[in-house]
Each structure stands twice: as C-alpha cells, then as structure tokens.
Chains A and B, each alone.
Chain A
Amino acid sequence: MQQYDNVELFESILKDFDDNGILEDFILIGSWSLRVYSYHFQNDPQIPIVATQDLDLLVPNPPEISREVDIPLLLRKYDLEEEHSFLDGLSKFVSPDFEVEFLYPDNGRGNSKGKNIKDFSIIATPLRYMSFIQDNSELMEYKQFSLRVPLPVVFVLMKYLLVKKRKPGDAEKISKDISTAKDLEFFLLENGKQDDFLFYFKKMPEKWRKNLFKILTENESDLVEVFKDIK
C-alpha cells in the first residue's frame, strides 16, 4: 500500500469522494474543518490546525445521495477496515494511524442505534447537536475541492458545547477542545464576527444557551462579554 501522511490521506479521501461525485453529500466536521478554514483565511497562523487521526463526516438528515457508492470498498485501499460494535450496531473505519467515522444528527430521543445509509453501505453514528451544524454549514473551497463545513462561528460554539459530551476522564481532550475553540474564537472576534456569534447563539434553544454560557464562563471565554445580556 502507498504510504500516506495524515494530510495526504485526508486529501486523497476527499479526492476519492469528489471523483465519485459524493463529496458535497457530507459535511466535514471535527478538527479537519480547521484545515479548511485555514486555507479559506489565507493560512492565517491564528487558526489552529492539527492533522489528527480522526476524520468525521456528517451525513445530513435526510441523507442527500448524489449516487450510490460503496464507501467501505473505497476506504479499503487505505487499509481502513470497518469495525463493528455489536452492542450498539455502530461502525467506523480504522487503520493503525487513522479513523473515519460517519455521523448523523441525533433526533434527541437518545437513539443510539446507527443509521444505515444503504446507498453508501455505511452505518452513521447518531450524535446530539449535529442538526444545528447541518443547518448552519457552508460550502468552502479547499485546494481543488468544494466541501461543506460548519460555519466557523458555529464550529466554535459547538466545540465548547460538545465538551459536555466528553467523559470526565478525557481531561486532555477537553483541554485541547477548549484551547482550539478559544484560538479560533479570538481570530473570528478580531475579524469582526461578534454579530455572527450573537446571531447563532440566539438561534440555539434556551437550554443549550444556558449550558454553553456556563462552559464559556468556566473557561473565561471572551464570548461571555458578547452574550451576557441575552443568555
């Protein structure tokens, strides 16, 4: 098998999806979105980019299928093998150095069963808050690709909010999430996105706003000042 570093692997997977006409059927979420933002904002060093091992792709609800593609077959050339959990029926594609997981907006009823996307031969993992990302995403150019990513301000808000979903033992990951959110938040506020932050904060359900504001306060985010009158 050809040896890839993580960035090459990420871009090669994007290319495969693009060549098969399905790249825009997904929303790129998680840390790899930062690389797209960095490219979008002319590689500004204030945007933290890390070539992580986890590539997360969100399947919108309802799924938008441009054409039938056997994704497990497509990923096999990178030694990414499907790993099933028989307890909850979920699956992801793993190799020693990389993981690809497909996610799906959870309907909020605690449905942990995977969503079978037959046309792609994948099972997507339901996850809370994803519908908000789906509704607030945009197409961005990344090199020769056009792909859907969360709006950067929404990425920041969700990064904070999802800290609640981390297990208490994940202290290092929580600290990394907060640091990433704060760095991107600082860059966006500096670039005049205060009103955007306010707009998307107001769009959230009250319970989310309350939780988010608590997390922001605990982490001394500059957004506390922005949201303090409407929490």
Chain B
Amino acid sequence: MSVIYDVIKEEYNRLNSLIELYDKKIAESLKGSLSLKKRGNNAYYYLAYRENKRIIFHYIGKEGSPQVQDYAGKIEARHKYEEMRKKSKENLKEIRKLLRAAI
C-alpha cells in the first residue's frame, strides 16, 4: 500500500479510538441541564433530566451558590466532549472518503 494510505489509515484508527473515548466520557458525565425557577425574589436551580420518559427536577441550590457552579461546570464539560465528538465524527467522515479514494 502507498505511503498516503498508511497515513490516512493511522488517522482513521486514531479518530475511531477518539470517538470511543468521548463516548465513554460522555456516558460517565452528568446528564441533564440546569433549569432556573423563580420563587418571589429568589432564583433556584434544578438539574433537569429524563428518566423513563418523565422529566425529573432535582434541586441543586440558589443562584450563584457553589453547588450550582459545580453542576454548571460538569455540564459544560459534557457539552465540550459532545462538541469534540461531533468534530471527530465529521473528520472521520472525511477520512473515510480519502481512505476509499486511496485504495
């Protein structure tokens, strides 16, 4: 096989491993999103997630509290992994095309 084929194949393998790694990290990450509810002059955050077709609201804390910041950070990290996985999948699509052309 050509040098180009080897290079593309190596990247193909790396991207597959990378997507697998992001899948694992996303599965281990906190699920759901933050939901803000206002009660009088106060605002409270809840973690909203789906469980058996039902949406569960789990109380986290007052707006600006360390607990809310902690949850927000974890959710942001999951979003980042999802974004990276999306980018890797797009790259993999391109690499597949190149791989087919190189055979």
Chain A residues near B (Cβ < 8 Å): 5-7, 45-46, 48-51, 97, 186
Chain B interface mostly: helix
Q: Whole-angstrom distance between the alpha carbons of A7 and B3 in the complex?
A: 9
Docked-complex contact A49 and B21, CB < 8 angstroms: no
Q: Knowing A45-B17, A45-B18, A51-B10 touch, does A97 contact B80 (C-beta < 8 A)?
A: no
CB neighbours of A7 from chain B (8 A): 6, 10
Contact of B6 among A45, A51, A186 (CB under 8 A): A51
Q: Knowing A45-B14, A45-B21, A46-B21 touch, does A186 contact B84 (C-beta < 8 A)?
A: yes
Q: Whole-angstrom distance between the alpha carbons of A49 and B11 in the complex?
A: 7
Q: Whole-angstrom distance between the alpha carbons of A186 and B85 in the complex?
A: 13
Is residue B7 contacting chain A, with contact meaning CB distance below 8 A?
A: yes
CB neighbours of B11 from chain A (8 A): 49-50
**A-B pairs with beta carbons under 8 A, tally:** 27
Q: Whole-angstrom distance between the alpha carbons of A222 and B80 in the complex?
A: 10
Chain A interface mostly: loop
Q: Whole-angstrom distance between the alpha carbons of A6 and B11 in the complex?
A: 14
Q: Whole-angstrom distance between the alpha carbons of A46 and B84 in the complex?
A: 10
- Specify which of A5, A49, A186 lies most central, judged by the most chain B CB atoms within 10 Å of its CB: A5
Q: Which partner residue on chain B sits nearest A4 by CB separation?
A: B3
Q: Which partner residue on chain A sits nearest B15 by CB separation?
A: A45
CB neighbours of A5 from chain B (8 A): 3, 6-7
Within 8 A of A (CB), among B1-56: 3, 6-7, 10-11, 14-15, 17-18, 21
CB of B57, distance to nearest CB on chain A (Å): 29
Q: Which partner residue on chain B sits nearest A6 by CB separation?
A: B3
Docked-complex contact A51 and B80, CB < 8 angstroms: no
Docked-complex contact B14 and A6, CB < 8 angstroms: no
